[in-house]
Amino acid sequence: METDYDLAIIGAGINGAGIARDAALRGLSVVVFDKSDASAGTSAASSRLIHGGLRYLEYGEIPLVYESLHERRTLQHIAPHLVRPLRITIPIYQGAKRGPLLIRLGMLAYDALSWSKRLPRHDMLSRDELLAEVPGLKHEGLRGGARYSDAQVAFVERLVLENLLAARSNGASIRTWHRVSGFDIGDRQIRKIRWQHEAGGASGECSAKVVVNAAGPWVDAVLATGGQPVQALIGGTKGSHIIVSAFAGAPADAFYVEAAADGRPVFILPWNGLFLIGTTDIRFTASPDEVHASASEVDYLLDETNRIFPAAGLTRASIHYTYAGVRPLPRKKRGPESAITRKHIILQNQDLATNLVSVIGGKLTTYRSLAEQTVDRVAAILGRDLPDCRTREARLPGGGSIDTAEISVTALSQLSPNGVTRLLSLYGSRAADLALLAANDDELAVTLDKDRTVLAAEVVFAIREEFARCLVDIVYRRIMVGLAADQGRSLYESIASLAAREFTWDAGKKAQELKMLNAFSDARRSWPASA
C-alpha cells in the first residue's frame, strides 16, 4: 500500500464508492477503506429503487425530488444493464390519507419535475380499470388508482462494485476488510490514518491530505476514533424487508400502498423472480452491526400485503429471508421518522480536523450527485482546480456495448438462454471478460446449477477481478446467488471448492468459510422478538 494520498475515503458503500470514482477520474490519488466488504451495510439493505421519492413532495422537498428524478435518468444512461424501468401502481381506497385529488396532484408534479425523462408519464385508473388489470387486489373501498414510472436496480451490490472498479481502473486503491482504527490529529489536521486488516491482523498507517468519512450509520463511530469528544451526527432509522415467492393474486407490476396501521408507504415489488416487500422506518440506537428485522416488522409487512391482496395468505412460513439496514439520517430527537429529511449533508468537521469531511444521509438514487458535490468540497479544501466532473456521462465498466459480450457469452454452450441473460444483467459488457476466462479454462467453463445459469468462472472472476475475499462476499455481493429463494445453498460446496483452489485454502479454512457463510444465511431466516 502507498502511504500518501490526496484523498482517503472511509466506507465502501454507494456514497464512498461514488466519491472514489469521481475523485479518481479527476486525477486525485485515492484510497478507500472499509471494515467489511463493499456494499455490506446500508446500501445493500435498501428497497433497490432508483426513484424520485414521490412521498417527499408531501414534506416540500421539491429540490430533492427534482435532483432524484434527473439522477434517475443519468443512472439509466451510465448503468443500463443494472438500472431498469419499473412501473408502479398506487391503489386509492376510501378513508386513506391520500385521496384521488392529492395523488393526481402528486403525479402531475412528479411528471413536471422530470420533464426530460424517457419513461412514460403517469396514468389515472378507474376502479374497474384497475381491477381488470389486477383482479387479486382488494375490492372493498377501492376508488381507483394511479400508475407511474420509476426504476429499479435489482442488485445494488453490483452498482457499488462497478463504481469501485471504475475508481480502481483510474488508480484508486480499494482496501476492503481494512478497519480504520484511529487518527493522529495535530493542529486540527489529520496527520495519519491508522488501519488494521480485519482478517489477517496486519496493521499500518498512511497519510491523506483530505479524509472523507462516508461510513453511513457508522459515521459517529469513525469520528470517535479520533480520540476527542464529538457531537453525534447520525440519528439512524431502521428499514426492514421480507422476501417471498409470487403469491395468489400477485400483481405483475410494482405496488406502492398506504399502510392501514400507520399510513406509511409500503412497496410490494417484483424482484429477482420473487417479491420484495418493505420497508419499515423505526428509530434505531443500537450498533448498526446488530440490525435485524424484528418479528413485529415481519408481521407488519405480512399484514399489509395480505390486506391489499386478500388471497395471498402470506405467513411467516412464506418468507424465504429478510434483510434490514440503518438509514444514516441526520440526528433529530423529535417528530415522525418519515419527516426526517432524506437530503444529504456534506459537513466539514472543523471542531475535530479541518481536512475531515463527513457525509450524512443521502439516497441511493442521488449518490452520483452527492459524490460530485463532495469532490468539489475536497477540491476547495485542497485549494486545487480540478478537472470537471465526468461521472454524468462516463459509463460504468459494464455499461458499454452489450453486443460483443452477448456473442461471447452465447458461445459458451454450457449456459442455458436464461444463463446468458443472467450474466449480461449482472456484468453487462464485462461479461465478455468473464466468458474469456471460462473459454481458457475447461474447469471454469462448467455450470454449477441444474438450470445451467451460474458459471464456475464467476467465482474465480470475483476473486481475481472484483476483490472478493470470502465466501459471503462471493455468494451475496458478487455472483448474487445468495439472494435467490434458497439463498443459493445448493451451490455452497461447489463455490467453496473453487474458492479454496483459487485462495489455496486448506480443508480447515474451507470448512470455516462454509460455517460463516451458512451462519450469515441462517441469520436472515430468523428474527428477534423486538428491535
Domain layout of the chain by residue ranges: 4-43+157-232+341-382, 65-151+236-332, 403-523
Give burial (CB, 10 Å; 0-12/13-18/19+) of 418: exposed
Q: Would the CATH topology of 4-43+157-232+341-382 be identical to that of 403-523?
A: no
Given this model, what pLDDT does residue 333 score? 67
pLDDT bucket at 212, cuts 50 / 70 / 90: very high
> What is the Cα–Cα distance from 214 to 436, expressed in whole angstroms?
36
* Number of alpha carbons in the 13 Å side-chain half-sphere of residue 51: 20
Given this model, what pLDDT does residue 230 score? 83
Q: Which three cell numbers stand for residue 462?
A: 470475483
Is the confidence at residue 164, as pLDDT, over 90? Answer: yes
End-to-end Cα, the chain, rounded Å? 40
Q: Give the fold, CATH level 3, of 403-523.
A: Helicase, Ruva Protein; domain 3 (1.10.8)
Is the confidence at residue 425, as pLDDT, over 80? Answer: yes
Radius of gyration of the chain (CA): 23
> What is the Cα–Cα distance from 331 to 338, expressed in whole angstroms?
13
Mean pLDDT of 358-374: 96
Is the confidence at residue 332, as pLDDT, over 80? Answer: no
Q: Which three cell numbers stand for residue 32?
A: 478507500
Determine phi and psi for 34, rounding to 5 degrees.
-150, 135
pLDDT bucket at 102, cuts 50 / 70 / 90: confident
pLDDT tens per residue across span 372-382: 999 999 999 99
Determine phi and psi for 258, rounding to 5 degrees.
-90, 120
| Cβ proximity of 293 and 323 under 8 Å | yes
CB atoms within 10 A of CB 443: 11
> What is the Cα–Cα distance from 352 to 255, expressed in whole angstroms?
45
Q: Cβ neighbours of residue 388 under 8 Å, at least 6 residues apart?
A: 26
> Mean pLDDT of all residues in the chain?
94
Mean pLDDT of 247-266: 94
* Number of alpha carbons in the 13 Å side-chain half-sphere of residue 433: 14
Percent of the chain with pLDDT over 90: 82
CB atoms within 10 A of CB 437: 18
| Cβ proximity of 142 and 136 under 8 Å | no
pLDDT bucket at 334, cuts 50 / 70 / 90: low
pLDDT bucket at 59, cuts 50 / 70 / 90: confident
Pairing mode, strands 274-278 and 356-360: unpaired
pLDDT bucket at 275, cuts 50 / 70 / 90: very high
pLDDT bucket at 531, cuts 50 / 70 / 90: low
Is the confidence at residue 336, as pLDDT, over 70? Answer: no
Is the confidence at residue 527, as pLDDT, over 70? Answer: yes
pLDDT tens per residue across span 116-142: 667 888 999 999 999 999 999 999 999
Q: How far, in Å, are 105, 137, 229, 358, 402 from residue 128 at the CA level?
A: 21, 11, 61, 51, 41
Mean pLDDT of 330-352: 79
pLDDT tens per residue across span 63-100: 998 999 999 999 999 999 999 999 999 999 998 888 88
> Which alpha helices (DSSP H) does 1-44 contain, by range?
14-25
Level-2 CATH architecture, domain 65-151+236-332 = 2-Layer Sandwich (3.30)
Given this model, what pLDDT does residue 3 score? 85
SS3 letters across 286-349: CCHHHCCCCHHHHHHHHHHHHHHCCCCCCCHHHEEEEEEEEECCECCCCCCHHHCCCCCEEEEC
Level-2 CATH architecture, domain 4-43+157-232+341-382 = 3-Layer(bba) Sandwich (3.50)
pLDDT tens per residue across span 439-487: 999 999 999 999 999 999 999 999 999 999 999 999 999 999 999 999 9
Mean pLDDT of 317-332: 94
Q: How far, in Å, are 130, 160, 456 from residue 424 at the CA level?
A: 34, 17, 16
User: How many helical (H) and strand (E) elements, i.e. helices and strands, does the chain have?
Assistant: 15, 18
Given this model, what pLDDT does residue 261 score? 87
Adjacent-strand bridge partners of 322: 242
Peptide bond between residue 279 and the one before it cis (omega within 30 degrees of 0): yes
Pairing mode, strands 203-213 and 356-360: parallel
Pairing mode, strands 142-153 and 83-93: antiparallel
Q: Which three cell numbers stand for residue 358?
A: 463527513
Given this model, what pLDDT does residue 327 score? 94
| Cβ proximity of 447 and 453 under 8 Å | yes
Q: Which amino acid does the sequence have at 120?
A: P
- pTM greater than 0.75: yes
Given this model, what pLDDT does residue 174 score? 97
> What is the Cα–Cα distance from 250 to 309, expressed in whole angstroms?
7
Q: Which three cell numbers stand for residue 125?
A: 385508473
Given this model, what pLDDT does residue 342 score? 73
Q: Which residue has the higher pLDDT, 319 or 351?
A: 319
Given this model, what pLDDT does residue 251 score? 96
